[in-house]
């Protein structure tokens, strides 16, 4: 029983959707249907969360938000969404796991952050003259010994002053987490939808998202 509860909790955490805006009007395209409002944005091939953005190049990606009427339970199924291209071609939404499986993952390589030593520099006079007073190498705090090479100041990024590299987010996991969550909803919900498509974007003259009695003209 405990393992079943853990599995259910993990499933809920894996499917969170995107951050829903306050109203449907805040999305690029929106409309009011019979018992719900809907907003959408065509992101071409990209899905994101905050500053994290990835591509699903073999899919057309749409972020959609549903706002059910107050006091109503609204049932959402990915299969209810259709994308219509140029008034005739229909595409059906693919489940997130299929998108993850089909997406080509490029190999991630960390940047080479090693400091490069520059050759050449003045060493200065290393000898001392007998009978003269010793030279104070540091006449005041913060001073440098004569002949010490001068290095440029290190720039500290304002957004990451610690300099600690952030652990990269797994694209597949992010895709699952930001996909539209299926099932019953009592409040507004939003997430990404993925429609398989390998054609050229330039060939798309009109693009419409169909959902129940709502039609949103994305392009």
Summary mean pLDDT of the chain: 77
- Higher per-residue pLDDT: 66 or 132: 66
The pLDDT assigned to 71 comes to: 85
Write out pLDDT tens, residues 154-189: 565 665 555 555 566 789 999 999 999 999 998 999
The pLDDT assigned to 164 comes to: 57
The pLDDT assigned to 188 comes to: 95
Question: Percent of the chain beyond pLDDT 70?
Answer: 63
Residue 41 β-bridge partners: 63
The pLDDT assigned to 15 comes to: 57
The pLDDT assigned to 128 comes to: 39
The pLDDT assigned to 121 comes to: 42
For the chain, list the domains and their CATH numbers: 2-105+167-217 (2.60.40)
Write out pLDDT tens, residues 84-95: 999 999 999 999
Average confidence (pLDDT) over 188-217: 95
The pLDDT assigned to 162 comes to: 55
């Amino acid at each position: 029983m405990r393992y079943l509860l853990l599995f259910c909790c993990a499933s809920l955490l894996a499917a969170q959707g995107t951050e829903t805006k306050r109203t449907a009007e805040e999305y690029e395209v929106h409309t009011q249907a019979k018992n719900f409002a809907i907003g959408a944005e065509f992101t071409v091939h990209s899905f994101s969360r905050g500053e994290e953005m990835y591509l699903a190049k073999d899919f057309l990606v749409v972020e959609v938000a549903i706002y059910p009427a107050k006091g109503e339970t609204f049932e959402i199924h990915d299969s209810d969404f259709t994308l219509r291209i140029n008034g005739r071609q229909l595409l059906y939404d693919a489940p997130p796991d299929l998108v993850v499986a089909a997406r080509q993952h490029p190999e991630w390589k960390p940047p080479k952050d090693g400091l490069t030593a520059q050759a050449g520099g003045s060493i200065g006079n290393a000898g001392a003259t007998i009978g003269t007073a010793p030279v104070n190498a540091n006449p005041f705090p913060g001073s440098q010994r004569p002949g010490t090479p001068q290095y440029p100041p290190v720039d500290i990024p304002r957004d990451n002053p610690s300099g600690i590299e952030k652990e990269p987010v797994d694209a597949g996991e992010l895709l699952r987490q930001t996909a539209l969550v299926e099932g019953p909803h009592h409040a507004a919900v939003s997430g990404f939808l993925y429609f398989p498509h390998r054609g050229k974007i330039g060939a798309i003259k009109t693009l419409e998202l169909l959902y129940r009695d709502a039609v949103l003209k994305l392009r």
